[in-house]
Structure 1
């Protein structure tokens, strides 16, 4: 049986072993990996977040002070979906909204100390689970560089 990283698309339109097939396999692996990481046991008392809430927390963590409208636009979400998720995050004590200094009608988002504590706990749990699965000599810096490049490229390009 082929591993997920060796599969090409079902229709076989990508030549096996080609760069296109490998890129498609990479996307497929990341897609499946996200789900499997979500299923890891990260502790009973960690605040359970929906995939959308997790995504918002990640972006607020990387861009403190971002406005809800910019966050919606960057993630390709409706303002209603973003607002609903932000209300839930606020109710859980993870996100704060602060009125803008120049325009009090615009709020800026930040993470609470509780959110930073929860993020640290989740990352530690992920590291514990992944450590035995990744060979000691693996070039994680190179993997992260490739994934960061993809993330940056996708975030800066048009949502399609």
Structure 2
């Protein structure tokens, strides 16, 4: 959808269907450079706007990260494998933040989210819990049920489409 195809319409990245990353749009259209990065749905320090996510991330950041990675990777890596890898890297090297920062960058590119004045690595290094919580809230705001994972969300979306009526129900014949 570029300005030459639809002269009276401008692309609004915030009105992209929930759960559909902007990256798919970018690959299909030549005028990608016209897209602008948009804001996050919540701020980095808005952790207490979703207390359950904040608590989960404080006590078990590997679960939060695993769920984020599953969605960002579109199901190609499982929640448990990503979370376990994050945990091992964190315990062995203390640098799990470097691994999770890669996913923040990937997520920002998929959804055309603005980067802050600090790089993704610095954000995760200085405030891992806040960064993971913000990413989790962002995916929830885009319509993902984080506990279902990528495949569960696809199934839920497909089930919703299958249940939609395709044609009106007609009564049997004419009665005289």
Q: TM-score range by the shorter chain?
A: under 0.3
Greater Cα radius of gyration, structure 1 or 2: 2
Query: What is the TM-score when the length of structure 1 is the normalising length?
Result: 0.27
Q: TM-score, normalised by structure 2?
A: 0.25
Structure 1 or 2: larger strand share? 1
